[in-house]
């Protein structure tokens, strides 16, 4: 059965810290891996990764995919209180089903 596992499930850090969130997957017919940030409402799209070893960056956030070891990491440097959110990882199955398999998310709290 396809699955996506995120770790840790929750994390508390201080402003200025760097954090690394993990996402491992076992999905038949991998197409892409996506990261979303969810504050109180809608998950907002961060990154889509399809190729190994190519880092995607947006400001203090970056992400990379390893298709051999079947995982991705999301890094946040110099964290701010506004980074507090649930970070969701999902993998797109490219089979006939073609659906997103979601992890449970990592809840990040950044304290001032």
Partner 1 sequence: DGGITQSPKYLFRKEGQNVTLSCEQNLNHDAMYWYRQDPGQGLRLIYYSQIVNDFQKGDIAEGYSVSREKKESFPLTVTSAQKNPTAFYLCASSIARNSNQPQHFGDGTRLSIL
Measured from the CB atom, is 74 or 79 closer to partner 1? 74
In the complex, the smallest distance separating the C-beta of residue 16 from partner 1, rounded to whole angstroms, is 30
Dist CA 18 CA 85 (whole Å):
15
Binding site for partner 1 (CB under 8 A): 4, 31-32, 34, 36, 41-45, 48, 50, 88, 90, 92, 98-100, 102-105
CB within 8 Å of 62: residues ≥ 6 apart:
55, 56, 74, 75, 77
Measured from the CB atom, is 34 or 110 closer to partner 1? 34
Measured from the CB atom, is 42 or 68 closer to partner 1? 42
In the complex, the smallest distance separating the C-beta of residue 45 from partner 1, rounded to whole angstroms, is 5
Closest by CA position to 89, among listed 71, 76, 62, 109 = 71
In the complex, the smallest distance separating the C-beta of residue 80 from partner 1, rounded to whole angstroms, is 23
Dist CA 62 CA 70 (whole Å):
17
């Amino acid at each position: 059965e396809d699955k996506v596992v995120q770790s840790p499930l929750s994390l508390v850090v201080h402003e200025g810290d760097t954090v690394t969130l993990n996402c491992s997957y076992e999905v038949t017919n991998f197409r892409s891996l996506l990261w979303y940030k969810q504050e109180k409402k809608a998950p907002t799209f961060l990154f889509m990764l399809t190729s190994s070893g190519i880092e995607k960056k947006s400001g203090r956030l970056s992400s990379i995919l390893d298709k051999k070891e079947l995982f991705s990491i999301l890094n946040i440097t110099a964290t701010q209180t506004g980074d507090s959110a649930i970070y969701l990882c999902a993998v797109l199955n490219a089979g006939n089903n073609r659906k997103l398999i979601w992890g449970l998310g990592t809840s990040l709290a950044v304290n001032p």
